[in-house]
Amino acid sequence: MRLLVKGARQLVRVVANGEQQLAGLSQTNCNLALMEECNGIGLSIAIDRDGRIAAIDYDDKVAAIYSEDQFEKVIDASGKTVLPGLVDAHTHPVWAGDRVHEFSMKLAGASYMEIYQAGGGIHFTVEHTRRATEDQLYHLLRDRLMRMLYNGTVLVEGKSGYGLDTETEMKMLRVLERAKRELPIDISSTYCGAHAVPKGQTAEEATANILNEQLPALLKLREDGQLHVDSIDVFCEKGVFDVEQSRAILQAGRRAGLRLNFHAEELSFIGGAEMGASLKAEAISHLEEISLEGMESMAREGSVAVILPTTAYLLRLNPPPVRDLIDKGVAIALGTDFNPNAYCVSMPMVMNLACILCKMTLTEALVAATINSAASLGKQVTNGSLEVGKNGDLLILNAPRWEHLVYQMGDYQNLIAAVIKRGQVITPEN
Ligand code: ZN
């Protein structure tokens, strides 16, 4: 046995009966399968040599099955809280060249589209990312992913999308592939060649390039075993890729066996959510401007809404209508949207923003950052809750109740006593 955590004051399993995702009011009414210390007897969780959860119960019950000397490591979590490692459902973590200079422009009132049309924004990042070597990009990525891990994220979705040409998009995906092999954080990778229209091309030309060159190159690398890509993404937006172009790209991805996980209805309503639901997209992100029909079709088809509160916060947009999405029966997941425009590595911070800006409850935010985020990536069988057989990925909080994770803002390095990945304690390197 690899690890025993014992004596916990509170243990939050999130779900306990193999639930795959919680949609609509089941997210609101979830009891989090919460266990509390009782008559001075705390809670234990045992993780086996394969890094999977072998037992979760009161200390005396687990002690009756395993003796402490069977474990490589024992952690005393007296007075503390144990909960599942967090899942970040949406990030753009591979790029060179930060955009701190644009932060002051935005504070002075420039909009995303004004910066984009002035050749800044994503085009600035594309230029720097095209110039960077694979090794440079890997080291930048490594630092960001490890910081996410120290902030409690054990599984992260990561996109390409700052190349916009075959060579750089494949370079970004190879960098994510190396991180999958070398880093102690799980990664679900997404091809996002349709993140923006490259300079000098029309959206139509960019769509043809994706369909005829980028996607075939990706499939070739996948055939050779060099890449393992999970999903395809497109920025379906007025002035970027329209609904029909987005549909063509997503359908090609679907034919190639990729999951559909894309950006829609962020800055304007154009019917992207309806289109995505008609393709049974596994996840649709943003949705600030989604229609009621779009919500209903997402609920009907089981598409998870990936909500990114950093966008509304940083761009001063209307927050996405999360309460309506929940009322209509949609499952909500959360992501940091980490990118050069939203430099946030912290899911606990995102949960706080989701509660304040999107009016989510604490329970909804935790479900959205665990089982539902895992479901948006198709990883709900291994991640997103503390259940026997799932990955032994957990957080121990220096707090007697889990709500401190959302309530205490910013100082996560001290609040999170330990991040445990498959039964191994992750210790910050510096
Ligand atoms: Zn994004």
- Strand 394-397: give its sheet, edge to edge: 34-36, 10-12, 81-84, 394-397, 416-421, 424-426
Share of residues in the chain with pLDDT > 70 (%): 100
Over residues 45-56, mean pLDDT: 98
Query: Which residue has better confidence, 7 or 106?
Result: 7
The Å distance, Cα 338 to ligand 1 centre, comes to 8
User: Is residue 104 very low, low, confident or very high in pLDDT (cuts 50, 70, 90)?
Assistant: confident
Handedness of CA 43, 364, 314, 268 (dihedral sign): positive
| pLDDT tens for each residue of 292-351 | 999 999 999 999 999 999 999 988 889 999 999 999 999 999 999 999 999 999 999 999
| pLDDT tens for each residue of 117-140 | 777 788 899 999 999 999 999 999
The Å distance, Cα 317 to ligand 1 centre, comes to 15
The Å distance, Cα 339 to ligand 1 centre, comes to 7
Query: Which residue has better confidence, 428 or 80?
Result: 80
Residue 108 pLDDT: 86
Q: Which long-range contacts (CB under 8 A, 24 or more apart) does 43-46 make?
A: 43/6, 43/7, 43/8, 43/9, 43/10, 43/11, 43/82, 44/4, 44/5, 44/6, 44/7, 44/8, 45/4, 45/5, 45/8, 45/11, 45/82, 45/386, 45/392, 45/394, 46/1, 46/3, 46/4, 46/71
* pTM of the predicted model as reported, rounded to 2 decimal places: 0.97
| pLDDT tens for each residue of 383-406 | 999 999 999 999 999 999 999 999
Helix (DSSP H) and strand (DSSP E) numbers for the chain: 19, 18
The Å distance, Cα 99 to ligand 1 centre, comes to 15
Phi, psi of 304 (to 5 degrees): -80, 135
Q: Which of 25-39, 109-123, 172-186 has the lowest mean pLDDT?
A: 109-123
The Å distance, Cα 400 to ligand 1 centre, comes to 34
What's the DSSP call for residue 33? T
Number of C-beta neighbours around residue 55 at 10 A: 17
Residue 31 pLDDT: 98
**pLDDT for 105 beyond 90:** no
The Å distance, Cα 132 to ligand 1 centre, comes to 21
Q: Which residues surround ligand 1, an ion (CB under 5 A)?
A: 337
**What is the DSSP pairing of strand 153-159 with strand 34-36?**
unpaired
The Å distance, Cα 231 to ligand 1 centre, comes to 14
- At 402 the three-state DSSP class reads coil
Residue 13 pLDDT: 98
The Å distance, Cα 13 to ligand 1 centre, comes to 29
Among 398, 394, 333, which residue's Cα sits nearest to residue 360?
333
| pLDDT tens for each residue of 279-298 | 999 999 999 999 999 999 99
Enclosing H/E stretch for 425: strand 424-426
The Å distance, Cα 90 to ligand 1 centre, comes to 6
**pLDDT for 148 beyond 70:** yes
Computed over its alpha carbons, how large is the radius of gyration of the chain?
Answer: 21
User: Nearest-5° angle of CA 392, CA 397, CA 399?
Assistant: 145
The Å distance, Cα 113 to ligand 1 centre, comes to 15
The Å distance, Cα 264 to ligand 1 centre, comes to 10
Residue 89 pLDDT: 98
Alpha helical stretches, state H, 286-379 = 292-301, 309-315, 322-327, 347-357, 362-368, 371-376
All domains of the chain in start order, with CATH: 3-19+30-83+386-426 (2.30.40.10), 87-376 (3.20.20.140)
Among 388, 387, 384, 392, which residue's Cα sits nearest to residue 421?
392
**pLDDT for 209 beyond 60:** yes
Over residues 410-417, mean pLDDT: 94
Alpha helical stretches, state H, 35-133 = 59-65, 100-107, 112-117, 122-131
